[in-house]
Structure 1
């Protein structure tokens, strides 16, 4: 895996060519705020989810009546991206459709991922181009894992506070698929105190109403996390694991008992021929 290092006077970030995935976010005091991918818990760090988010029934999707195998969260996170641009404080990787990708996702596409540093923030932008001649269905999402507790905050209570102060309805998963029932929100006036028991039933999914920003952390140290063009939010950890994932998505897993047609996935994207769509998140370190 090719490893690219970018930096400024506040942050140093490493990005790998495999999945164009961030490997670290180190502040100028030497602390790493990103999960280190310890396989004892979970070997991901900050994967991009494409061309679908979550699972498909029997790990297969349908496109125009044809079935294709597709593992959880799609294939981009396990694909080798090409470095196409690099500067002192940014890098851009690109994944293009190939003979291999077309055997499971029969479309011509270009997916680029840019990581750029702005002060004490890392800004990640994904661009999807439909390079073909038919409408392309897909889902896309981000899956960054931040350390829990944050550096220097051991023993302190951590929370997630939505910028919009909302109380979005909660949806749970069963076998990786979305259960249709809407449950009462665990947020109270936009605030949720984190506890490992929250994740004994897998991820917490908030399909609507979470807004476009949150603050994760403690009163002394936090991450201001915002996202763009991504209507769904999930929070995930493994019980007892020292990380929490903040996951904005455009598209969710298939519903329990629902269709395996990729074009019918909840909140999915239908991108016209030649069209371009952009998505992103920004993580600003505070304290």
Structure 2
């Protein structure tokens, strides 16, 4: 049965759902809401967890060890009921392990643990995937948080995404929801992207080769979110065109290649986790302004 958990400190209050271990709201002490509210007119998500794959598979089918399985976009974790394993005033931990339903589409024993923690005006979200099976386990993992655009207090201001490394990473585009091998010139100029709704006419902006480990999403003269990423080498930006949110999505893995294999292990940036091993993925976001 789905339940809600709240963690808070003097700066931030976070509400979370056991369904998908997904954030439902982020509110600062001054009452400002920062996270997308899931309005069904645009997109019902808030901040889904993507596992055991990121993006789409050809015809929604993946191949694992020579067998074919049905798997919807972004995997099953976001539609799964997690167990609240631990919580305190400022932290909580959700866990998802293999069930009869998951084995029917992903034939491995695993543990996915997702933790949320507050430290002043910083939120850290971390995940640990453990292979509890006896054979190597392929998967992709990602985060999909949607923050308001415009940011609260930034109405009327231009909004920017700025890469700390000043890079101009090439753009990977989608065709039928699958990544194309060829890339396009970067929309960043000296590490800065001025956001316009028209940028998303052809779906997400994907930087499969990475965009560094730190970026800022901000109103030009107003509030800002500063992100730090750990073990998340791929970045995407997405919105439903015209909707008042921006998804800042750090991933380890992407959709399957257009015209490529259904094999989960052969998708770009897939993780192959050996029996008994664990892998951690995390991001921190600091709220200011």
> Shorter chain as normaliser: what TM range?
over 0.9
| 1:38-64 per-position Cα deviation (integer Å, ceiling 9, x unaligned) | 010000000010000000000000011
- CA distance in 1 between partners of 2:72 and 2:241 (Å): 23
Q: Give TM-score, length-normalised by structure 2.
A: 0.98
Aligned position for 1:37:
38
Q: Where do residues 115-154 of structure 1 align in structure 2 (5 Å cutoff)?
A: 115-154=116-155
Deviation beyond 3 Å, 4+ runs, structure 1:
none
- Measured in 1, the distance between the counterparts of 2:286 and 2:104 equals 39
Aligned CA-pair RMSD: 0.6
The CA deviation at 1:241 is 0.3
Residue equivalent to 2:237:
235
Instruction: Report how far residue 220 of structure 1 moved.
Output: 2.0
1:257-278 deviation line (CA, Å, top 9, x unaligned): 0000000000110000000000
Of 230, 250, 254 in structure 2, the residue corresponding to residue 252 of structure 1 is 254
Structure 1 stretch displaced more, 203-212 or 259-268: 203-212
Task: Tell me how far 1:157 sits from its aligned partner.
Answer: 0.3
**Structure 2: how far apart are the matches of 1:99 and 1:5?**
30
How many matched pairs? 287
User: What SS does the aligned partner of 2:181 have?
Assistant: coil
Conserved 8 A contact 1:230-1:249 = yes
Aligned to 1:269: 271
Contact 1:166 1:209 in 2 (8 A): no
1:147-193 CA-to-partner distances (Å, cap 9, x unmatched) read 00000111110000011110000011111100111110000010000
SS in 2 for 1:91: strand
Secondary structure at the aligned position of 2:172 is classed as coil
Gaps of 5+ in 2: none
Q: How many angstroms does 1:209 deviate by?
A: 3.6
